[in-house]
Amino acid sequence: MKISLLTDAPKHNLALMKLSTYHKSMGDSVLLNMSIIPADYTYASVLFEKNIKEFIANEYGGPAFSQHKPLRPEIECGFPDYGLYPDNDFSLGYTFRPCFRRCSFCKVDIMERGDMRHHSINTFVNPNYKKIRLLNNNTFMDRRWRETFQEIWDADLTVIDENGYDLRLLDMEKADALKRTKFQGMIHFAWDRMEDEKEILCGLSLLKQYKIKGHIYVLIGYDTTIEEDLYRCQKLVDFGQDPYIMPFKRTDHNKRFKRFFDTFMWRKYKTIKEAWENYK
């Protein structure tokens, strides 16, 4: 059989990599994003809702759909087909999939509700690569998170931080683990909700104490005011971190606020509020 795999994911797609492994083990030929070539069976894994109608397939899945369709167990437990993305130089997978926060703006609770287990990095690490791209949604919610870090250190791997770490769960032991780990680029964190301020500020204090420079996502346009957005960003700057604005809705105001931070012109002013008033 000829199997066609389609996706709008720009860099990688773990589900399709596992489907590829499964079908190749059955003797099938597999093509990625070659929709012009006729196939016996087609899968489409769609990341962005706007692209749903762009694909014609026998089976659909991915974050674009409100109802999550998991892979069959015999496919899910398979080793990823790294040949599907030959230009990538990293291993790809999960050691822990769920996040139990259940934030109303996030799809993780829908997408990752099934698999609650801890997994070793050895279930997906390619020994030819010295980098690992973790897709974990909240590593520190895993009771066995220490094992994940120890395996990474033992294999001398560099981590590509895909989804970041929960500032609300940070303590001295976790901060020390992050500090000991080799990362490609900055580590990602987030401050999404005002109600988490106390825990976030404790986490920021630990980042400062351990001299960890992060990329802090700031959700705007969901349930915060512009005053609260400016306040959160100012606090991050006070702790030596740079805010990265994530608009929930791409209104003119939210896009303008994001452009304001992306230009870094605010660094010329004493406060974020003063910079914003001048930018407007």
Q: What is the pLDDT of residues 11-23, one digit of tens each?
A: 999 999 999 999 9
Which pLDDT score, from 0 to 100, does residue 64 have?
85
Q: What is the mean pLDDT of residues 80-84?
A: 97
H helices, E strands: number in the chain:
9, 11
Its domain, for residue 255, covers 187-280
> What proportion of the chain, given as a percentage, has pLDDT over 70?
97
Of the residues 53, 80, 107, the one at which a domain ends: 80
**Rounded mean pLDDT of 83-106?**
88
The predicted structure's pLDDT at residue 4: 96
Q: Label the pairing between strands 182-183 and 242-247.
A: unpaired
- Report, in angstroms and rounded to the nearest whole number, the Rg of the chain calculated over CA atoms: 21
Let me know whether 125 and 67 are in one domain: no
Written as six digits, the tokens of 195 are: 């109600």
pTM, two decimal places:
0.90
Number of domains in the chain: 3
Mean pLDDT, range 149-162, rounded to an integer? 96
One domain for residues 61 and 98? no
Q: Is residue 28 part of a domain?
A: yes
Residue 157 has pLDDT above 60, yes or no: yes
Is the per-residue pLDDT at 112 higher than 60?
no
Instruction: Tell me which residue of 66, 15, 74 sits closest to 45, measured CA to CA.
Output: 15
Q: Looking at 101, 130, 163, which one is the last position of a domain?
A: 163
At which of 80, 114, 147 does a domain end?
80
Task: Tell me, yes or no, whether 204 and 249 share the same domain.
Answer: yes
